[in-house]
Amino acid sequence: MRLERFEVRAMGSPCSLQLWGESRDALRPHVEACLREIVRLERKYSRYREDSLASRINRSAGDERGLEVDVETAALLDFAETAHRESGGRFDPTSGVLRRVWRFDSGRLPEAEALESARALVGWSKLRWERPRLVLPRPGMELDFGGFVKEYAADRVAGLCRARGLRSGIIDLGGDLAVVGPHPDGRPWQVGIRDPRRPESAIARIALAGGGLATSGDYERFMIVDGVRYSHLLDPRSGLSFRGGPAAVSVVADRCLIAGVTSTIAMLHSETESRGFLQAMTLPHLVVDQSGALHGTAIRAKAPTSRTLTSGPAAR
């Protein structure tokens, strides 16, 4: 048995599949099946593709008839509805329209009028979801699967590997991780957690034997205006860049989908509230506060100087 690493670019991110098998050639059919699944989900849920289901949903905005969705999409919408409710509105897939006014490469804050216009289109409560029919009643509304489809894809691919008889491996889709199974000798995977202020290095590591791990941070995209740092983490409730939260949050859960959404929601709390929220969720977690201090229940240690896995979006 040997460990092989297959690297691809998908869903706008560098991705890798690390799998144990008899040989690279023996693993290749499994990898090709995994890549087909990743491509399928990207084609279905990418807002950048005119022929995607996501684009069809968004083009239906303003049509009171809406459209019917398939079983897979219905399950994702049910999940999103639950996450929105239990997060107090911090998780909201309708908030993608805010990107129209928040342009972090411009170095300028959005105009108040433009921000208010965008905010009028945000709000899960504004849409109507009655399985299997989805209605976006207001023209210009959008549903953005980008906040959770990558994590869902990682879970799907890990499950596909197990269904094909693979027992040891880990799926990394742009820093969102799902475990196929631990190393053949039972050792967990060692995952480096990006330092939010030095994203090229790791600040800690977490041992991961199963489930999924996701990291959210305020460092992926940001701008500094008049000495104030504004990150890409936009609060759907206000439409503003959220300030006062942690620098990064990592969460371990049975599914990468759960880990990813939980870490995102935690980032939209103050530093103190974030830790309380995560403790109440009873999921292993690691919080990096704005001073660089570490908090949480996930197993952690000083990061190794070399590593093969890193959780967290790449710095840009």
| Domain 188-316, classified CATH 3.40.50.10740, yes or no | no
Please report how many Cα atoms fall inside a 13 Å half-sphere around the Cα of residue 109, on the Cβ side: 13
- In one-letter notation, the amino acid at residue 279 is Q
Q: Which two tokens stand for residue 86?
A: 């239990």
- The whole-angstrom separation of Cα 52 and Cα 39 is 12
Rounded CA Rg of the chain: 20
Q: Which helix (H) or strand (E) holds 163?
A: helix 149-163
Beta strand 189-195 with 310-311: parallel, antiparallel or unpaired?
A: parallel
Q: Which two tokens stand for residue 297?
A: 């229940």
53-143: CATH class:
mainly alpha
| In the chain, where the domains are located | 53-143, 188-316
Per-residue pLDDT of the chain (316 residues; tens, 9 = 90+): 999 999 999 999 999 999 999 999 999 999 999 999 999 999 999 999 999 999 999 999 999 999 999 999 999 999 999 999 999 999 999 999 999 999 998 999 999 999 999 999 999 999 999 999 999 999 999 999 999 999 999 999 999 999 999 999 999 999 999 999 999 999 999 999 999 999 889 999 999 999 999 999 998 889 999 999 999 999 999 999 999 999 999 999 999 999 999 999 999 999 999 999 999 999 999 999 999 999 999 855 555 443 446 666 543 2
Per-residue CA distances from 17 to 1, 33, 72, 168 (Å)? 16, 12, 24, 11
